[in-house]
């Protein structure tokens, strides 16, 4: 059967664009449908604008730190609307580049929503026309999540709204303990907003190493963020100009805004996947194998819509592996192990590999090397912020299986460290690497004493 296109891609985010470009450059006839803007979550409502907001917020503390180095700055002020204007100009520019790169590669891009009609046919909703394709790639990413069981949830905002607030609130309640909630807590606190963070667990950043979690948690509080732990929202009420959140532990939290940042769900709703029999997992993500192939042989999915490892570079590599395998005669499987990732809280987190708990469960005997210290820069500022560095080592052969950093430039450092971990470096390899002095990163190659947690020390 002759199809209109060799490949139809739903979604022009990072994974969809990489797959589309490579497939088109290999000679395939490719159509990409994007109902919003090219660039996806990362460029439009995620990594990029959020990182710009982190930069903006860090300047506030930098002005205070400057005093320790003899600088005197008077009349400092912050114009949020000026910042937003410049940020969105840059986002528009990047979105345009994504669209232009697609078309330059030979792919066709349409501003439309696509839904399945049958296994090889999709309907473009705005254009009200159907097209057929030999292979179909679902790359629709994720969407913000709001709990349906919280009364008054319609009064809350999501992370999408944070990039369009014309006026910063004086006081905000943030619900959530994951990286999005923690990042916005740091951003808004740095911009002078009073922040109350409500978390379900005892500590923030579930899934990260316990030392990282407690370190970030304490830094949030030290920087003035009020944290209410072991509590969930039950009801949101509007009282005058304020919003009041009533919590499961009997406490209340009030603010000018209530931000729910409790995670993102795979964006599969309304695609018509039930019509074609594509299986979803228990989180609503598209179930795929190591080749990003669904249970329907010619339908594939990459990126956050699969709910595997929800990171932009992972979506890109999955999209690349798909195109190489399906259109370039280069069978490729992306290895999801030892992928570095960061949390752009303040101070930021950079990690790669296993947590201490995961390593103990996987290997049994492990060694831990850990240090905490004040960075050199803060010796003159008076800031009491601490850096945490931790190396997790498999005892039987001294292979480094995890590195965890909380501190200035942690994401920049962890990218280089991830190369060593991916290559299978040992603790001895770290030890025989000469330190670069003076730097924060030198601590990674100077830790010699094994750290024994108090609960494991002999009585």
Assigned token pair, 196: 């109350």
Same domain flag for 316 and 358: no
**Residues counted in the chain:** 459
CATH number at 366 reads 3.30.390.30
Residue 334 resides in a domain: no
pLDDT band at 44 (very low <50, low <70, confident <90, very high): very high
pTM: 0.95
Which of 304, 20, 299, 306 lies closest to 136, judged by CA?
299
Residue-level pLDDT at 452: 81
- Total number of domains in the chain: 3
Stretch 380-388: mean pLDDT, rounded?
95
Give domain status of residue 148, yes or no. Answer: no
pLDDT tens-digit series, residues 396-441: 999 999 999 999 999 999 999 999 999 999 999 999 999 999 999 9
For residue range 212-240, list pLDDT tens digits in order.
999 999 999 999 999 999 999 999 999 99
Residue-wise pLDDT for 112-154, tens only, equals: 999 999 999 999 999 999 999 999 999 999 999 999 999 999 9
Same domain, residue pair 34 and 73: yes
CA distances from 309 to 187, 304, 324, 340, 417 (A): 24, 7, 20, 11, 20
Same-domain pairing of 274 and 388: no
Query: What is the pLDDT of the chain when averaged over all its residues?
Result: 96
Q: What is the pLDDT of residues 59-108, one digit of tens each?
A: 989 998 999 999 998 888 999 999 999 999 999 999 999 999 999 999 99
Report the CATH number at residue 215: 3.50.50.60
Is the per-residue pLDDT at 209 higher than 80?
yes
> What is the residue range of 407's domain?
341-451
Same structural domain, 351 and 415: yes
Q: By the 8 A CB rule, do 107 and 48 touch? A: no
Domain C-terminal end among 279, 295, 327: 327
- Of the listed ranges 48-57, 302-311, 446-455, the least confidently predicted one is 446-455
- DSSP character string of 54-121: HHHHHHHHHHHHHGGGT----S----HHHHHHHHHHHHHHHHHHHHHHHHHTT-EEEES-EEEEETTE
**271 inside domain:** yes
pLDDT grade for 458, boundaries at 50, 70 and 90? low
Task: State yes or no: is 437 an active-site residue.
Answer: yes
Of 168, 162, 159, 219, the C-alpha closest to 192 is 168
């Amino acid at each position: 059967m002759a199809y209109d296109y060799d490949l139809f891609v739903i979604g022009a985010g990072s994974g969809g664009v990489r797959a589309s470009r490579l497939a088109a450059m290999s000679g395939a006839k490719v159509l990409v449908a994007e109902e919003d803007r090219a660039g996806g979550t990362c460029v439009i409502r995620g990594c990029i604008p959020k990182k710009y907001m982190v930069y903006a917020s860090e300047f506030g503390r930098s002005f205070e730190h400057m005093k320790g180095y003899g600088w005197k700055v008077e009349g400092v002020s912050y114009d949020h609307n000026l910042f937003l204007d410049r940020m969105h100009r840059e986002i528009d520019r990047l979105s345009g580049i994504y669209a232009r790169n697609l078309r330059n590669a030979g792919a066709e891009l349409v501003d439309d929503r696509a839904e399945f009609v049958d296994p090889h046919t999709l309907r473009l909703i705005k254009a009200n026309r159907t097209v057929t394709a030999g292979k179909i790639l679902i790359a629709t990413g994720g969407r913000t999540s709001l709990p349906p069981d919280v009364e008054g949830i319609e009064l809350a905002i999501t992370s999408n709204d944070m990039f369009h607030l014309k006026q910063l609130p004086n006081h905000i309640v943030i619900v959530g303990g994951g990286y999005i909630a923690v990042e916005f807590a740091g951003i808004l606190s740095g911009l002078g907003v009073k922040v109350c963070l409500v978390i379900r667990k005892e500590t923030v950043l579930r899934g990260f190493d316990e030392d990282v979690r407690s370190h970030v948690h304490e830094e949030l509080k030290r920087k003035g963020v009020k944290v209410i732990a072991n509590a969930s929202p039950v009801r949101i009420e509007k009282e005058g100009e304020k919003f009041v959140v009533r919590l499961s532990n009997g406490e209340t939290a009030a603010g000018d805004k209530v931000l729910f940042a409790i995670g993102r769900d795979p964006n599969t709703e309304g695609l018509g996947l039930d019509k074609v029999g594509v299986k979803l997992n228990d989180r609503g993500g598209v179930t795929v194998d190591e080749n990003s192939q669904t249970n329907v042989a010619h339908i594939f999915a990459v990126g956050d819509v699969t709910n595997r490892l929800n990171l932009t570079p992972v979506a890109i590599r999955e999209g690349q592996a798909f195109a190489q395998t399906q259109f370039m005669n280069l069978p490729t499987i992306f290895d999801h192990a030892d992928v570095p990732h960061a949390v752009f809280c303040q101070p930021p987190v950079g990690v790669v590999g296993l947590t201490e708990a995961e390593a103990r469960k996987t290997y049994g005997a492990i060694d831990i090397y850990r240090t905490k210290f004040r960075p050199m820069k803060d010796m003159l500022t008076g800031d009491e912020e601490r850096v945490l560095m931790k190396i997790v080592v498999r005892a039987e052969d001294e292979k480094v299986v995890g590195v965890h950093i909380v501190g200035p430039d942690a994401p920049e450092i962890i990218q280089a460290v991830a190369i060593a971990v991916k290559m299978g470096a040992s603790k001895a390899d770290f030890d025989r690497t000469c330190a670069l002095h003076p730097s924060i990163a030198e601590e990674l190659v100077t830790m010699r004493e094994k750290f024994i947690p108090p609960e494991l020390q002999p009585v």
